[in-house]
């Protein structure tokens, strides 16, 4: 009886335990499953980081181009507020480049050609105006040329830089010298902190809402870094009157007095991490009818 009980107890213990081989097989299987899970998780995070990086890369390009497009579309000049520009019978008159800002005083872009009769008293006032601050050309404004004192804005563009006045600003603080207009500069700067590709540049946007203030204390522009990794960035400007592209533009130049580009083209090449490369050609167009409404539209 006792021996039978002992044999039964031994059999019970054997069925409740695991052999060394079984334990080793279980450990090996557990390790293999853990490695597979680790690799799958690591790969998932790698793909996720790559997707986020590509999204940031293309999203940054889209944001920068969107800002340029918005600012250029709102390119501003007060010429539309001057009644001499858009008379009923000369609303679509072309700019007289020989007399608009040259020998004929009292002419500004859009005004009909030919001298206007000016009384001696008005001529004296006009001479005083031309000698004053409002008759002088600066970085963003041309000098006034008639008694209205209205100054056309100045547009300056090179192959890698834009400078103009835009009506794209949103006024936030009422007690500061700002308006719905802003001075805008887009330019390339050296990117000393670049970790992408050595030798690339950084596109920055410089904004100053103190558009109508000439005081130095109010000239505090804000610099916004927009787009790193710029490898190539080239502007050119289309002249509708000559049907030609210009590599540089300045509304203060003799052959461009008071004129604004009809179309701005940008050829850009941007590089990013993980060998990302983006090449594209963008077209930007000012929407303000500086020379009247085109009758062909």
Q: What's residue 154's pLDDT?
A: 92
Banded model confidence at residue 171, pLDDT cuts 50, 70, 90: confident
Q: What's residue 75's pLDDT?
A: 93
C-alpha to C-alpha distance for 287 and 297, rounded to whole angstroms: 13
Q: Which residues contact 63 (CB under 8 A, 6 or more apart)?
A: 226
Banded model confidence at residue 291, pLDDT cuts 50, 70, 90: low
Q: What's residue 219's pLDDT?
A: 60
Over residues 55-95, the pLDDT tens digits come to 889 999 999 999 999 999 999 988 777 666 655 544 444 44
Tally of CB atoms within 10 A around 53: 14
Banded model confidence at residue 16, pLDDT cuts 50, 70, 90: low
Banded model confidence at residue 218, pLDDT cuts 50, 70, 90: low
Over residues 126-150, the pLDDT tens digits come to 777 777 777 788 888 888 877 777 8
- The per-residue pLDDT of the chain, averaged, comes to 79
Question: 178 φ, ψ to 5°?
Answer: -135, 165
C-alpha to C-alpha distance for 297 and 290, rounded to whole angstroms: 15
Banded model confidence at residue 188, pLDDT cuts 50, 70, 90: very high
Q: What's residue 294's pLDDT?
A: 54
Q: Closest by alpha carbon to 117, among 129, 107, 109?
A: 107
């Amino acid at each position: 009886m006792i021996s039978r009980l002992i044999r039964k107890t031994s059999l019970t213990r054997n069925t409740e335990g695991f052999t060394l081989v079984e334990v080793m097989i279980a450990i090996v299987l557990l390790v293999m499953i853990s490695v597979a899970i680790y690799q799958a998780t690591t790969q998932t995070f790698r793909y996720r980081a790559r997707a986020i990086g590509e999204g940031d890369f293309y999203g940054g390009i889209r944001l920068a181009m969107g800002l340029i497009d918005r600012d250029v579309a709102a390119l501003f000049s007060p010429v539309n507020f001057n009644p001499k520009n858009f008379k009923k019978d000369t609303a679509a008159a072309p700019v007289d480049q020989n007399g608009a800002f040259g020998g004929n005083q009292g002419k500004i872009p859009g005004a009909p050609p030919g001298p206007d009769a000016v009384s001696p008293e008005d001529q004296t006032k006009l001479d005083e105006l031309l000698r004053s601050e409002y008759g002088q050309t600066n970085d963003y404004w041309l000098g006034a040329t008639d008694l209205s004192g209205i100054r056309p804005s100045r547009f300056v563009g090179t192959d890698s830089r834009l400078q103009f006045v835009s009506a794209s600003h949103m006024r936030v603080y009422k007690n500061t010298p700002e308006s719905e207009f802003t001075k805008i500069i887009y330019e390339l700067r050296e990117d000393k902190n670049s970790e992408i590709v050595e030798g690339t540049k950084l596109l920055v946007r410089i904004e100053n809402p103190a558009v109508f203030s000439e005081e130095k204390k109010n000239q505090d522009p804000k610099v916004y870094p927009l787009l790193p990794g710029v490898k190539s960035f080239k502007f050119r400007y289309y002249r509708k009157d000559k049907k030609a592209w210009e590599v540089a533009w300045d509304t203060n130049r003799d052959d461009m007095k008071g004129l604004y580009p009809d179309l701005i083209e940008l050829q850009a090449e941007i590089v990013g991490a993980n060998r990302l490369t983006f090449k594209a050609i963008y077209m930007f167009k000012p929407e303000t009818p500086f020379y009247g409404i085109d009758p062909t539209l």
